[in-house]
Amino acid sequence: MSKKVSFYTLGCKLNFSETSTIARSLQEEGYQKVPFEEAADICVINTCSVTDNADKRCRAIVRQVQQRNPEAFVVVVGCYAQLKPDEIAAIPGVDLVLGATEKFKVSQYLQDLKKRDMGTVHSCEIQDADFYEGSYAIGDRTRAFLKVQDGCDYKCTYCTIPLARGISRSDRLENVIRNAREIATQGIREIVLTGVNIGDYGKGEFGNKKHEHTFLDLIQHLDKVEDISRLRISSIEPNLLRNETIDFVAASRNFVPHFHIPLQSGSNTILKAMRRRYLRELYTERIERIRQVLPDACIGVDVIVGFPGETEELFMETYNYLHGLDISYLHVFTYSERPNTPAAEMGAVVAQPERKRRSKMLRSLSQKKRRAFYNRQLGTERKVLFEGENKKGYIHGFTENYVKVKTPWDPALVNQMLPVRLKEIDPDGLVRFDFVAAGVEA
């Protein structure tokens, strides 16, 4: 009888794409994939380590497996596994820890599933993580995450990603196109491009540091792939988001008007301390350019609060800057000290209660920004791609410019893309609509 294997993914879209690829490789070798909630012979946990909370979540998931399925052979992979393999191996219940390159060869380490008191570690030096493994994830019937790039050559003072994933490197353009076509054959309507620093696409495409292609080359080729209704760009650095890219998206056949652009701070003083590769003025230029050619685009922003040296005055610079910026929502991160990063050694530490207060202020601002953006969309006609999950009697979907809508559950709508007229905002912050073609009120 084939061994059953379950998976749990923490962190970003990139992790989800890699978990799916690992799962497919095991299934091809005869393993049976089962839901995480079911009993399994093997449980693979793909970890994140962007914040201290991500580390804690990994430990909590291991405890869940131990309580529900104590005989399962527990494998931990991902960023946390690369950064702190010995620490993870000592967690009760962990049997195997695989680093950045080993995780794609997991089946080679599953010959002996005997549980022991201490986990076994197979982890490379991060400088050996210099080759590329393509992957994509199909989370439901409507959307796929397509990995196009891995690693990062930036040296932001708060970030462990270069230590966990290695140098910037890219999938070959023909491989990306082949994966996109493969996704299309499975009835998926939307592809989200993902990576660590996708704007750096092309570097390391053929194992060298040159850019054989650019990010603009990539999206121009992907726009020609048949049978994909939507292409969406995930997070892209502002210094790598060129005007040519913005203009191409505006004229594109399939790329949707949605950008997620990390800011991290609205204070140039803090941006310099973070060693970001831009200042606030460049960020403003990018937002203005998007609004010039795509006035209804959705623009999301990453921001970190509580970075060392962020005084109340500097935080208010960020708050006031974002308040006046024409954006759609925020992803707010509370700064977390990470080992082996320069920021962890900086002085002028911001107290935890203050970090939480600032985070709460920006989350409240995000709610106001999202509602204002949704309000501007009311009365407009959009196309909604409906998702596949019944959420408390409702089906949800997203417009091309990332307005989230809801209507009573109807399985016939799953994976359908239909024209609607946005009507009103519900108390839960989602938008109700009228179907345009059928004239059915929702």
pLDDT tens digits for range 22-38: 998 999 999 999 999 89
439 band by pLDDT with thresholds 50, 70 and 90: very low
pLDDT of residue 59: 86
pLDDT of residue 79: 87
Report if residue 442 sits inside a domain: no
> Do 267 and 344 lie in a common domain?
yes
pLDDT of residue 319: 98
Q: Which two tokens stand for residue 63?
A: 């405890």
Report if residue 289 sits inside a domain: yes
pTM greater than the 0.85 cutoff? yes
Q: What is the CATH number of the domain that holds 57?
A: 3.40.50.12160
Tell me how far apart the alpha carbons of residues 230 and 25 are, in angstroms, rounded to a whole number: 27
Give the rounded distance of the alpha carbon of 348 from its chain centre.
31
| Parent domain of 9 | 4-124
Is the pLDDT at 124 greater than 80, yes or no? no
- Mean pLDDT over 207-222 rounds to 89
Are the C-beta atoms of 431 and 425 separated by less than 8 Å? yes
Tell me how far apart the alpha carbons of residues 358 and 54 are, in angstroms, rounded to a whole number: 20
> Do 362 and 404 lie in a common domain?
no
441 band by pLDDT with thresholds 50, 70 and 90: very low
Report if residue 342 sits inside a domain: yes
- Measuring CA to CA, which residue among 211, 232, 213 is closest to residue 223? 232
Among the listed ranges 61-75, 138-152, 170-184, 310-324, which one has the minimum average pLDDT value? 138-152
> Do 32 and 55 lie in a common domain?
yes
Report if residue 440 sits inside a domain: no
Q: What is the CATH number of the domain that holds 394?
A: 2.40.50
> Do 198 and 297 lie in a common domain?
no
Number of structural domains found in the chain: 4
Report if residue 360 sits inside a domain: yes
Residue 3 phi, psi dihedral angles, 5° rounding: -75, 140
> In the beta sheet, which residues pair with residue 30?
none
Domain boundary (202, 224, 256) is at 256
Q: What is the CATH number of the domain that holds 180?
A: 3.30.750.210
For residue 179, give Cα distances in angstroms to 17, 159, 169, 222, 320.
12, 30, 17, 10, 43
> Do 86 and 71 lie in a common domain?
yes
- Measuring CA to CA, which residue among 409, 428, 230, 401 is closest to residue 420? 401
Tell me how far apart the alpha carbons of residues 132 and 150 are, in angstroms, rounded to a whole number: 7
Is the pLDDT at 1 greater than 80, yes or no? no
Is the pLDDT at 2 greater than 70, yes or no? yes
> Do 155 and 243 lie in a common domain?
yes
Is the pLDDT at 374 greater than 70, yes or no? yes
- Measuring CA to CA, which residue among 283, 241, 288, 240 is closest to residue 263? 283
pLDDT tens digits for range 224-278: 999 999 999 989 999 999 999 999 999 999 999 999 999 999 999 999 999 999 9
Is the pLDDT at 126 greater than 70, yes or no? no
For residue 384, give Cα distances in angstroms to 105, 111, 223, 433.
39, 47, 19, 10
pLDDT of residue 256: 98
- Mean pLDDT over 368-392 rounds to 95
97's enclosing H/E stretch is strand 94-98
Report if residue 388 sits inside a domain: yes
> Do 57 and 137 lie in a common domain?
no
Tell me how far apart the alpha carbons of residues 303 and 235 are, in angstroms, rounded to a whole number: 12
Report if residue 441 sits inside a domain: no
Tell me how far apart the alpha carbons of residues 202 and 278 are, in angstroms, rounded to a whole number: 21
> Do 294 and 283 lie in a common domain?
yes
Q: What average pLDDT does the structure give for the chain?
A: 91
- Mean pLDDT over 52-57 rounds to 75
Report if residue 120 sits inside a domain: yes
Q: Which two tokens stand for residue 225?
A: 């792939």
pLDDT of residue 437: 67
pLDDT tens digits for range 328-370: 999 999 999 998 999 999 999 999 999 999 999 999 999 999 9
Residue 99 exposed, middle or buried by CB count within 10 Å (0-12, 13-18, 19+) = buried
Give the rounded distance of the alpha carbon of 357 from its chain centre.
25
> Do 150 and 208 lie in a common domain?
yes
> Do 408 and 419 lie in a common domain?
yes
Q: Dihedral (C-alpha) 196, 325, 290, 436: value to the nearest 10 degrees?
A: 100
> Do 420 and 389 lie in a common domain?
yes
- The torsion region of residue 199 among left (phi > 0), alpha (psi -120 to 50) and beta comes to alpha
Residue 437 or residue 107, greater confidence: 107
- Mean pLDDT over 377-404 rounds to 95
- Mean pLDDT over 429-436 rounds to 94
Residue 439 or residue 114, greater confidence: 114
Is the pLDDT at 438 greater than 60, yes or no? no
Q: What is the CATH number of the domain that holds 348?
A: 3.30.750.200
Is the pLDDT at 206 greater than 80, yes or no? no
Residue 165 or residue 317, greater confidence: 317
> Do 139 and 195 lie in a common domain?
yes
Domain boundary (327, 346, 377) is at 377
Domain boundary (224, 256, 288) is at 256
Instruction: State what percent of residues in the chain have pLDDT above 70.
Output: 95
